[in-house]
Amino acid sequence: PAPVAAPSDRLLLRGVVALGLVVSLVKLWLALTAPMIWEEAHFLALGRHPAIAYADVPAGWPLIARLLETLFGPGMTAPRLFGWLLSEATPFAAYALARKISDHRQALWSALAAILVPAVSLMGTLFYPEIALQLLLLLMLTALVEAWRSDRLIWWAATGAAGALGLFIHYRFALAGVGVLIFAAATPGGRALWRRQGFWVAGLIAACGLAPSLVYNMKEGWPALGYQLASRPVWRFDLALAGKFLAQQLALATPAALIAMAGLWRRRLV
């Protein structure tokens, strides 16, 4: 028989559902009323000229914009609702990932964090690739945990598929792959992955998401590298900017998250 939830768990579940509904309605209102930002207009404009990649971004997000415009007509309503729906799936994905490594109560807290942390929650008010990247990261890690435990090829393939979609949407998802490689190099459990065939299969599938961008950039003289690494960033050290960046990261993570990460590091099992 299924275990009966403790009263405190049921109370927490009701709180998560209630807060989730309130935040969801607020995000929906913002998504339908906030003015278009230039990045959204940029993706919509690129989508009207389908290609395997573009000078500054991969093809995924502009092609999604193209599909939405083809199905529902021009305007921001359909793209904003698409982003909102992705953001609504994020707490469920956070719960699923946490449930793989913890109990029901801790997974509910993870879902609540996905609902309340602005850096995650508010992305659903715009047609911006970050919300898709966040969702795909959670799905990729969920599949990776299952693949690590079971070593079943289906889960390795799912890990790679999530990675491929992320790389097809934006180059920033490469940071997720870097994180996996650091884990695979820096921990005993991670180093064991190199001996598993499925780990390499996942990497090859994930690389397929980057292939169209590589083909485009090789043909056009690597404009994405010029934009992302040369034209856009300012490569000089500025103590004030460094301090501001650190403060922003601490605020986004929140002290509670930093304390939790420190505790998990001390109790790490791999």
Band the pLDDT of 232: cuts 50, 70, 90. Answer: low
Sign, Cα dihedral of 92, 98, 103, 107: negative
Which residue, chain included where needed, has tokens 């921001």? Answer: 76
Query: Helix, strand, or coil here: 73?
Result: coil
With cut-offs at 50, 70 and 90, classify the pLDDT of residue 2: very low
Question: Identity (one letter) of the amino acid at 84?
Answer: W
Band (239; pLDDT cuts 50, 70, 90): confident
pLDDT digit string, tens, across residues 94-149: 999 999 999 999 999 999 999 988 888 888 899 999 999 999 999 999 999 999 99
Domain definitions of the chain by residue range: 238-270
**How many whole angstroms separate alpha carbon 133 and alpha carbon 228?**
18
- The answer, yes or no, to whether residue 254 has pLDDT greater than 90, is no
- Per-residue pLDDT at 217 exceeds 90: yes
pLDDT of 251 higher than 80: no
Contact 25, 121 (CB under 8 A): no
Distance (Å, rounded) from C-alpha 51 to C-alpha 54?
Answer: 7
pLDDT at 269 over 60: no
User: What is the C-alpha to C-alpha distance for residues 26 and 12, in angstroms, rounded to an integer?
Assistant: 21
pLDDT at position 81: 97
Dump pLDDT digits (tens) for 154-178. 999 999 999 999 999 999 999 999 9
Mean pLDDT of the 232-248 span: 79
Rounded to the nearest integer, the mean pLDDT of the chain is 90
204-224: average pLDDT: 94
